[in-house]
Amino acid sequence: MIYPIVLYGDPVLKKPAELVESDIDVKQLSEDMFETMYQASGVGLAAPQIGKSLRMFVIDSTPLDEDEGKEGIRRVFINPEILETEGDDFAFEEGCLSIPGIRADVQRPPKITIQYQDENWQEHTEIIEGMPARIILHEYDHIEGVLFVDHVKGLKKRLIKGKLGNISKGQVDANYRVKLPAKAVRRT
């Protein structure tokens, strides 16, 4: 099932998400999240982006890793914890399915140690680096209620402010199904 993707301006994106309990069908939910992510040509999707305030996200770094001749990582992360980050922060231009049409450089560390459960509730601890680490840190932010634009400061932030306002008002151009923020729905 493809979910509409929640857009910037929806409060669910700003709220720290809840732990995923075992009564949730995480297999089905992760399949749906992959399907939703792929139809929007994304490389990561967190549950709050489909309106579910749960600590869970999926990633498939294949499209980005292929460019560098590497094999991608396709994974489901449930109740993840970032145990450690390593290396010097570096800038990379990020975007987000919930914030269409905006891209900006974000500083993040290149290497992480992450503990999580998979869609079979198996526990893992893994060291991940490169593009998958970047995607995971972006998605992990989502379950903490943080968006990549929250890391953008100064002039660049002022430049994108108008565009962010437009998205939250429902003035948005995306080639996938979206759910407009409630504010925007009331206005139209």
What is the chain's percent helix, strand, coil content, to nearest 5? Answer: 35, 25, 40
**Which residue among 66, 93, 139, 144 is the active-site one?**
139
Binding range to Ni ion, per CB under 5 A, among 67-75, 96-104, 166-174, 177-185: 96-104
Q: Give the closest residue to 45 by CA, choosing from 10, 89, 20, 75.
A: 75
Whole-angstrom distance, CA of residue 36 vs CA of residue 30: 10
Query: Pick from 96, 104, 135, 143: which binds Ni ion (CB under 5 A)?
Result: 96
Please report, to the nearest 10 degrees, the dihedral formed by the alpha carbons of residues 60, 66, 69, 75 taken in order: 10
Q: Does 33 bind Ni ion (CB under 5 A)?
A: no
The binding track of 127-156 with respect to Ni ion, each residue x by CB under 5 A or -, is ------------------------------
Which of 12/96 has CB closer to Ni ion? 96
Number of residues that bind Ni ion (CB under 5 A): 1
Q: How far is the CB of 123 from Ni ion (least distance, A)?
A: 25
Give me the residue whose beta carbon is nearest to Ni ion.
96
Q: How far is the CB of 98 from Ni ion (least distance, A)?
A: 6
Q: Give the closest residue to 12 by CA, choosing from 103, 143, 170.
A: 143
Whole-angstrom distance, CA of residue 60 vs CA of residue 169: 30
In 19-130, which residue ranges form alpha helices assigned H by DSSP? Answer: 26-39, 62-67
In 88-146, which residue ranges form alpha helices assigned H by DSSP? Answer: 131-143
Largest Cα–Cα distance of the chain, in whole Å? 47
Which of 96/112 has CB closer to Ni ion? 96
Which of 78/97 has CB closer to Ni ion? 97
Q: How far is the CB of 122 from Ni ion (least distance, A)?
A: 26
Which of 20/96 has CB closer to Ni ion? 96
| 81 labelled catalytic | no
Footprint of Ni ion (CB under 5 A): 96
Instruction: State the catalytic residues.
Output: 139
